[in-house]
Structure 1
Amino acid sequence: MRFFSLLLLGGSLVMPAHAADAQNWLSRLLKAEKQQSFQGVFVYERNGSFSTHAIWHLIGQNGGARERLLKLDGSPAEMLRVDGRLRCVSSTSADQLIEEGVWPPRPLDPQELTNWYELRMIGESRVAGRTAVVLAILPRDQYRYGFELHLDRETALPLKSLLLNEKGQLLERFQFTQLDTSTTLAKEKLEPGPACRPVKVLDAEGAEQDSWRSEWLPPGFTLRSAHAQPSPISGETVTYLMYGDGLARFSVFIEPLRGVPVEDARSQVGPTVAVSKRMATADGDTMITVIGEIPLGTAERIALSMRAGGEKAD
């Protein structure tokens, strides 16, 4: 692909200033996400499957953000976030949007990223009728994939993101087809529909201290968010923990089994792995499922490292 061809041909000519320029653009992106209201339509491609989504993102006068996402094709799905915290989802399809990372785009802290990635400016492009600058984000170890990120030259909002493996093969695409940053958002567009089910937001730090925690994580990964909601199948409360390194991320789902016979499982489709492990706890058997864009062996190690409350490894 063009991304890795440019890196191979021009890698020896890349100057330190290019890395500084890339960091500056990521800093602009951080500010844009906190200050810029917008609405638009984007497509999401993964493993040869496409979906289309509408997004409304409103920054209030106090700086708070309210964001609604609506799936426009296939199974209906909707979710609402307020100040970055999930408030409601409408279906298991919406849950999949969270698991797969369809939205929001991965939060990028340039200072944090340089610990695990190399940043480079590699050119310009045009996306959704808007001029963009193109950044390469290259992993420094085997735990992460590389990214090609296209940022709107006017606002620094992400117009397009490509997830690429070490051979430059496309694993995942997020791309706006329409983006409006000037029209005032209608209030009704920010209100969830009746099918959007409330979720219980957990304190990320307390979620690990009081209920579940991981005893091993890949370097650089920390707990970023947590929430709980009823399972649409069993009705049991499922705890959801999301871990990230500032770019890559994976999720851990914890569900009480209450005697239900479930076997361990592992699978991989494209860049996404899923590992489920049955674990005995003081409150009964629990299913631990790890889903994310990480090596299969890493996901299995994470699943086995999960502990309930004050439990310790044997």
Structure 2
Amino acid sequence: MILTPWRLAVAQTPDAVQLLRNMTEAFHTLSYDGVFVHSEASNMNSMRIRHSVLSGMEYESLVDLDGDKVEVLRVDDKIICVHPDPTSENRNSPFRAPFKGLKKVSHERLALGYELAVSKESYRVAGRDAVRLTLQPRDEYRYGHVFWLDKENHFLLKHDVVKSDGQLLERVQFTSINFSPDLKQEDFVPKNGLRRKEQTKQPPVKVKNAWQFEWLPAGFSLVWTEARALNHGTNMLLLSDGMATISVFVEPSQTIRPTSVMGMGATVAGMSSFKVKDDFYLLTMVGEVPGETIDRLMTVFMPRVEND
């Protein structure tokens, strides 16, 4: 259980939720050019991100500054991954920009799993005045989150994922940020001579959900009513409590695998085999939640009853 919760006044909660909404909006609407550091476990790397809305289209560039200089360019739903050479193309997968997951935030839903508080103290991050927002988990099934938002435009300057005892699991922090960059469309065009892969986000195929959970932690629910069909007969479900998400994959299997749960930083993955009548399935769950959450969820996953 949580021994040292961050207490909040009821009057603070609507302000906290609005700050989260403003944070997500800032990512998609502001122009910015900055460098941030992402650290988890013993891994750390720095990235440069540029973003602007030009002629009604959203442009974004994300460059790895420490590795092979891989760049991910996004123009609305079109993604281009640029590799400096063939070997890096096989070693690297597209990385994500800082926290962008909150598009619709519900106070009622978040309050089931977290206590929300906005600090009255003043902070400085990347040379900018910041306000600190904390989400303290109410139980052991989720992590805590601490956000430092730009005081002027509510852009996310720093985000910590922490255990209930305060141990840091993952951090994203800007070291420099410019909100008045002179960005043009040509700044988001791959340079000649570099290898590139293009992909356009395709809407996933919706299929009937044949699975259910006998139990879920407070605040968690399925994001989609239907499942999403992936390749090789795999179905995907998505759980969320409004902040944390857990991706659930179910696929037919010919072999039995022992249950395993492993993690790196804040991300935990679990795998388990189970049998339904004469058929075997492999269940995989990945999310930014404690290992105990993944472990228990795998034991309460089962076929959906037809009359449900």
Q: TM-score range by the shorter chain?
A: 0.7 to 0.9
CA apart distance, 1:194: 1.1
Per mean C-alpha deviation after superposition, the further-off stretch among 243-252 and 183-192 is 183-192
Q: Distance in 1 between matches of 2:246 and 2:78?
A: 16
Q: Are the counterparts in 2 of residues 77 and 94 from structure 1 also a CA contact under 8 Å?
A: no
1:202 aligns with 2:204: yes
In proportion to residue count, which structure has more helix?
1
Q: Are the counterparts in 1 of residues 78 and 199 from structure 2 also a CA contact under 8 Å?
A: no
Counterpart in 1 of 2:84? none
Q: Distance in 2 between matches of 1:194 and 1:284?
A: 41
1:106-145 CA-partner distances (Å, limit 9, x unpaired) = 4162524234322212222211221111112112232221
1:54 aligns with 2:53: no
Q: Distance in 2 between matches of 1:56 and 1:295?
A: 32
Counterpart in 2 of 1:300? 295
1:273 aligns with 2:268: yes
Give matches, 1:90-129, under 5 Å.
93-94=92-93, 97=95, 103-107=98-102, 109=105, 111=107, 112-122=109-119, 123-129=121-127
Counterpart in 2 of 1:219? 218
Pick one of 55, 59, 73 that aligns with 2:66: 73
1:49-97 CA-partner distances (Å, limit 9, x unpaired) = 10222223333554x64444333323665555566x68566667436x4
CA apart distance, 1:265: 2.5
CA apart distance, 1:46: 0.6
Per mean C-alpha deviation after superposition, the further-off stretch among 27-36 and 153-162 is 27-36
Residue identity opposite 1:219 in structure 2: A
Pick one of 20, 33, 41 that aligns with 1:26: 20
TM-score (norm. length: structure 2)? 0.72
Q: Are the counterparts in 1 of residues 33 and 49 from structure 2 also a CA contact under 8 Å?
A: yes
Give matches, 1:154-165, under 5 Å.
154-165=152-163
> Looking at CA atoms only, which structure, 1 or 2, has the larger radius of gyration?
2
Q: Which runs of 5+ in 2 are unaligned?
A: 82-88
Q: Which runs of 5+ in 1 are unaligned?
A: 231-235
Give the SS at the match of 1:114. helix
Q: Distance in 1 between matches of 2:300 and 2:75?
A: 31
Pick one of 282, 286, 305 that aligns with 1:287: 282
Question: In the comparison of the two structures, how many residue pairs are matched?
Answer: 288
Counterpart in 2 of 1:233? none
1:156-205 CA-partner distances (Å, limit 9, x unpaired) = 110000111111111110111222221243324445761355564416xx
Q: Are the counterparts in 2 of residues 274 and 291 from structure 1 also a CA contact under 8 Å?
A: yes
Residue identity opposite 2:183 in structure 1: L
Q: Distance in 1 between matches of 2:277 and 2:185?
A: 47
Q: Are the counterparts in 2 of residues 201 and 228 from structure 1 also a CA contact under 8 Å?
A: no
Q: Specify whether residues 16 and 198 from structure 1 end up closer, same or farther in structure 2 by C-alpha distance, changes over 3 A only.
A: closer
Q: Are the counterparts in 1 of residues 60 and 75 from structure 2 also a CA contact under 8 Å?
A: yes
CA apart distance, 1:42: 1.3
Per mean C-alpha deviation after superposition, the further-off stretch among 111-120 and 14-23 is 14-23
1:270-308 CA-partner distances (Å, limit 9, x unpaired) = 443221123557997553221222233431343455568
Residue identity opposite 2:196 in structure 1: P
Aligned-pair RMSD on alpha carbons?
Answer: 4.0
CA apart distance, 1:248: 1.4
Counterpart in 2 of 1:132? 130
Q: Are the counterparts in 1 of residues 256 and 273 from structure 2 also a CA contact under 8 Å?
A: no
Counterpart in 1 of 2:86? none
Q: Distance in 1 between matches of 2:23 and 2:71?
A: 25
Counterpart in 1 of 2:35? 41
TM-score (norm. length: structure 1)? 0.71
